[in-house]
Amino acid sequence: MEGAKLRVLKIVDGTIVDGPGLRTSIYFAGCSHHCEGCHNPQSWDAAGGTPMSVSEIMAVIDDNEMDVTFTGGDPLMQIEALLPLAQTVKEHGYNLWVYTGYTIEEIQASESLRRVLDYADTVVDGRFVQGLRDISLRFRGSSNQRIIDVKSLKSY
């Protein structure tokens, strides 16, 4: 059995804004952070988007042959269904970035959330803070958000 379906808002092929190089970005539905000034508030509804299986999503990823970014919403809101996809992405040899409103400390403290760190290469963490918005930052929207190399857990 393939497991639970994931709620996907859209899949963007060949984007350069969600990590280095050309990437396949998967925008997942659902976010309870509700950050003021969020650029994607339509993603907050956990019932939004289209239900997709791991194999359906992987067909798009493999067709694109690009590294992968999970974003949203907050992909970690669907953690149980997301983990099999993250594992499959890595088994297929893709680099994986994960954007989340959770901090790395919150992820590490959560038994369920920290399992994503087994598969993610990079995590962009933290809630968007309107007062810290900085359009000069690469791959993030506000200066409190960190780009974390998961293998070394170094942020930059």
Name, in order, each residue with C-beta under 8 angstroms of 56's C-beta and a sequence gap of 6 or more: none
Q: Is residue 92 part of a domain?
A: yes
Q: Is residue 78 part of a domain?
A: yes
Q: Which range marks the domain in which residue 143 is found?
A: 6-155
Per-residue pLDDT tens digits for 105-137: 999 999 999 999 999 999 999 988 889 999 899
Q: Is residue 77 part of a domain?
A: yes
Per-residue pLDDT tens digits for 52-93: 999 999 999 999 999 999 999 999 999 999 999 999 999 999
Q: Is residue 44 part of a domain?
A: yes
Report yes or no: 91 and 54 within 8 Å, Cβ to Cβ.
no
Q: Is residue 118 part of a domain?
A: yes
pLDDT at residue 46 in the model: 80
Residue 156 reports pLDDT greater than 60: no
Per-residue pLDDT tens digits for 15-58: 999 999 999 999 999 888 877 777 777 777 888 999 999 999 99
Report yes or no: 82 and 107 within 8 Å, Cβ to Cβ.
no
pLDDT at residue 4 in the model: 86
CATH code at position 131: 3.20.20.70
**Tally of domains within the chain:** 1
For the record, the structure tokens of 95 come out as 């680099």
Q: Is residue 1 part of a domain?
A: no
Report yes or no: 107 and 123 within 8 Å, Cβ to Cβ.
yes
Q: What is the DSSP string of the chain?
A: ---PPEEEEEEEEEESSSSSSSEEEEEES--S---TT-S-GGG--TT-SEEE-HHHHHHHHHHHT-EEEEEES-GGGGHHHHHHHHHHHHHTT--EEEE-SS-HHHHHH-TTGGGGGGT-SEEEES---GGGB-TTSSS-SBTT-EEEETTTTEE-
pLDDT at residue 45 in the model: 80
